Structure 1
């Protein structure tokens, strides 16, 4: 059954890829039976029943017009022209949620690339992802091969990343790889579909179990922060001054730590005893910039995120409507605290912010805009990059070519899109 699911999913996988040098169109994708058949016990079942629509590229290359086979993979497509696995190199180690992977289990289809930090065999790798913060123009890859895709990756907002101000990076990268929805490879800090998968794997499908843990706790709000960015510190203080009970952790508060390692089940369990978590970012109004503070410290743990910094409309593009509380909805910190204290005393009203956690059991309740068929693929970003690598590789094995996009000005691509939006 797992192989059957993998074959089905591979026909649906390559969604949301902005292919170099291409035009895009919206067209429905259907498998041969015009409907998706899914084992109810599989990971795909959270999205079934469904008829999948994906955004497919109209290739302006020797590949000719698009057809279904352009966007599906068989097992042979997971190997390059030498019969070896495709390789993606991350140019330097970075902090973040561990486990960057692209394999059939994670990608739910015939997609596999070795993702590594090993740079010892650069002539043979197929794509390189450059985490840009602190990237130096010295020591870059020599003898770049014509098939290699170079992707620019940023985890920070434009206020805290240089964004290629130097002309060194003009015409160097083929792809942008970041959390903004205008990226060539969309690489958000999280997604609701990934969170649902994690909850299912952990056996956390019963909302009542989470509520019961909270009933046995007098913990209200938590905040872990080590970057003492003054505007968010001030806003947090105003909430505390207005009477909100907050337990603080991290370098800004003496280094006190939550239980367990970050992203561990113990960590999530400790945070899940709280009603709320402060999802406060280090930038204000930056397009699509909200991080693990929202997705994992908040949604994944079961502590409702209180959001400050990101634009509400950006969050609503990708998160359940009633899954967070945004500061912009209140005239003052005192008004927000009044509402939060109301929720503390009214479990029925509070539980409405957690109803999305029942979507694993009741997939028909998933909001239409968040259903997989209406999303550019919500799977791991390295799965999407690997899919693009495989598409190029398959073309090479056929003696064909695919156009490579080149980014003329990285600075304009990154900073230019934020003009008038992003500020301290």
Structure 2
């Protein structure tokens, strides 16, 4: 090879080396920009959450593309289109439909590694058929604080502006109940309270149903509301506490989990817990003996906090996207029944 050929090869090698250095430099700069403060973040992919059967409904609601954005969750798409099973980032199954066998688990068509979510807001006392769901679900959506996707029935958040005034109180205690069974502790406690405390009972059980728009104005006229849960389980605090009592402006008298659980959600002086009293008569005497100053202390939280109700299943399902990056991909509930009924 002559000298000119050797020079050309050397030039090509030099140019190749220079190109490699430039490429590495560009990649390094891109890496720096990726992690530099104020750098433009990489586009976040939109997650698709497939709801296999909409809870308690034959037809799902409209689910426009901005559904989750309205709840403060971005890059999240809810769908009930089952043809998306192969591509969905997670699939949700509501237990009531599984319990009634109105929804079938598509086990044979399940893509490998796809997270499946078991969803329920009912208590263990009203949940059946968990034994046949072992080793299927990766994540749980429920009111339990130890759920993968924790969605309580309500919460308190800072209030902006003054609290709305409450109407005049012209009744002592109210209770709205549809399922009245003497074996339930709440019914037994009511029967013990009734001789000592004036309680107006509404709902189908007493043939005094209240329309959805009538409940809060009706309860607001009472000093107290019997926020008695139908069963007592960890973290099971439902709309009876959040909507029927706190949102209505009545002081809740609670029967449910221990006081410490309620205090994890609300100020300790925002409710009266039945476990603080030795008998129903003692509880009734405390309620009826309360003067106006003592009563107002139970409503003081309203000046700094407001009730936010979390009863919309769309908001609950959007919470899956918010939690998605933090959830374990290899987790499987081998004993879902044992976990939920613990």
Short-chain TM bin: 0.7 to 0.9
Q: How does 1:85-104 map to 2 (within 5 A)?
A: 86-89=48-51, 91-94=53-56, 103-104=68-69
After superposition, where does 1:233-312 map in structure 2 within 5 Å? 233-242=187-196, 244-254=197-207, 256-258=208-210, 260-261=211-212, 264=213, 267-284=215-232, 286-312=233-259
TM-score (normalised: structure 2): 0.73
Equivalent pair of 2:172/2:199 in contact (CA under 8 Å): yes
Q: Which residue does the alignment assign to 2:46?
A: 79
Matched, 1:318 2:265: yes
Asked if the contact 1:189/1:292 (under 8 Å) is kept, the reply is: yes
Q: Which residue of 1 aligns with 2:330?
A: 404
CA RMSD, 1 decimal: 3.2
Structure 1 residue ranges, 4+ long, deviating more than 4 angstroms after superposition = 98-102
Secondary structure at the aligned position of 1:130 is classed as strand
Q: CA deviation at 1:224?
A: 0.9
Task: Look up the match of 1:114.
Answer: 77
What count of residue pairs does the alignment treat as equivalent? 288
Q: Scaled by the length of structure 1, what TM-score is found?
A: 0.60
Alignment check: 8 A CA contact 1:102 1:382 kept = no
User: Aligned partners of 2:318, 2:269: CA distance in 1, in Å?
Assistant: 29
Q: With a CA cutoff of 8 Å and minimum separation of 6, indicate the structure with the bigger relative contact order.
A: 1
What does residue 354 of structure 1 align with? 299
Compared with structure 1, are the counterparts of its residues 68 and 273 closer, same or farther at alpha carbon in structure 2 (3 Å cutoff)?
farther
- Counterpart selection for 2:150 from 183, 186, 193: 186
Q: Does 1:173 align with 2:137?
A: yes
Task: Give the deviation of 1:390 after TM superposition.
Answer: 6.1
Distance between the aligned counterparts of 2:240 and 2:143, measured in 1? 14
1:24 aligned partner = none
Aligned partners of 1:336 and 1:176: how far apart in 2? Answer: 37
Give the number of the structure whose alpha-carbon radius of gyration is greater. 2
Determine the C-alpha separation between the residues in 2 that align with 1:175 and 1:77.
22
Q: Could you say if the C-alpha distance between residues 112 and 75 of structure 1 is closer, same or farther in structure 2, counting changes exceeding 3 Å? A: farther
Structure 2 segments unaligned to the other structure (5+ residues): 1-33, 307-314
Partner of 2:201, secondary structure, is strand
